[in-house]
Amino acid sequence: MTILADRKRIAIVTGGSRGLGRSTVVNLAKRGVNSIFTYNFSYTEAQAVATQADDVGAKAIPLRLDVGAIDSFEAFVADVRDALSKMEAERFDYLVNNAGISNHTAFAKVTEAELDELFKVNFKGPFFLTQKLLPLIADGGQIVNISSGVTRFVNPDSIAYATLKGAVEVFTRYLAHDLGPRNINVNTVAPGAVQTDFSGGVVRDNPVVNELVSKMTALGRPGVPEDLGQMIASLLSDANHWVNAQRIEVSGGMRL
């Protein structure tokens, strides 16, 4: 049994301006879930996402956030409170830690600056953002952290990125344990290769990579944002509340 308030559900999705995050916000909207979502540089794209949600009768409020700027989180939480009051709510129900950056430097060449940047955006940011948002997430709510298929299989030149996504998965398990008493479930969604702007859009725009991914995927093609957005939006429902502390790979069966 969840104990969420009897009102329209509200999600916070980081990196909702493009890619998987955008598709998640739009698919949540189709399911009647309002969102507060973040963008960093893509202001125009974020406005378009808000319009798409509006078109299907849901609210999606964009807020600017650099997930790597931990010292801005206090101000961000104040912005979230304002956005919640516009939705006549004091708490939100779902958190999706999605925003992230890639890195494809060979182990011998990874610099300290590269590793620090990855750590900040892909791990430290979600860690402390979740901590700061804890008082605002409703008991009975749900958290999804986005990892990657590359924590299970080895992708060339992805050691720094994959290692920090591995940390996200351990974080998920511990968070599920620690938030259990508040009836909040926490899961990892690990996408396979998806056709977005990520890694310079290589999975979408490079025919060689596209074919390679198709050949190593049971369902015979790379993922598209909708594959992930639909899945994450459907995971965030009462029907899935008992799914807890899991790593769910959403890759069409990549590198089985």
Ligand X SMILES: NC(=O)c1ccc[n+]([C@@H]2O[C@H](COP(=O)([O-])OP(=O)(O)OC[C@H]3O[C@@H](n4cnc5c(N)ncnc54)[C@H](OP(=O)(O)O)[C@@H]3O)[C@@H](O)[C@H]2O)c1
Interacting residue ranges for ligand X, rule: CB under 6 A: 15, 17-21, 38-42, 65-68, 98-101, 121, 146, 148, 191, 193-194, 196-198, 203
Count other C-beta atoms under 10 Å from residue 146's C-beta.
26
Bridge partners of 94? 11, 142
User: Token match 């990549």: residue?
Assistant: 254
Least Cβ distance, residue 182 to ligand X (angstroms): 25
Which of 199, 110, 113 lies closest to 148 in space, CA to CA? 199
The nearer residue to ligand X, 226 or 238, going by C-beta atoms, is 226
Least Cβ distance, residue 194 to ligand X (angstroms): 4
User: Token match 């015979």: residue?
Assistant: 220
Which of 106, 116, 101, 111 lies closest to 197 in space, CA to CA? 101
The nearer residue to ligand X, 66 or 79, going by C-beta atoms, is 66
Q: Give SS3 for 52.
A: helix
The nearer residue to ligand X, 140 or 149, going by C-beta atoms, is 149
Alpha carbon 98 to its chain centroid, in Å, reads: 2
User: Token match 């999606």: residue?
Assistant: 60
Least Cβ distance, residue 17 to ligand X (angstroms): 4
The nearer residue to ligand X, 68 or 140, going by C-beta atoms, is 68
The nearer residue to ligand X, 125 or 141, going by C-beta atoms, is 125
The nearer residue to ligand X, 100 or 141, going by C-beta atoms, is 100
The nearer residue to ligand X, 68 or 252, going by C-beta atoms, is 68
Closest-approach residue to ligand X (CB): 19
**Cβ contacts of 9 within 8 Å, gap of 6 or more:** 32, 33, 34, 93, 94, 236
Least Cβ distance, residue 145 to ligand X (angstroms): 9
Least Cβ distance, residue 103 to ligand X (angstroms): 10
Q: In what order do the strands lie in the sheet with 34-39?
A: 60-64, 34-39, 10-13, 92-97, 137-146, 185-191, 247-250
CA distances from 114 to 53, 103, 105, 153, 160 (A): 35, 8, 9, 22, 9
Residues 21, 100 contacting (CB under 8 angstroms): no
Least Cβ distance, residue 36 to ligand X (angstroms): 14
Least Cβ distance, residue 146 to ligand X (angstroms): 4
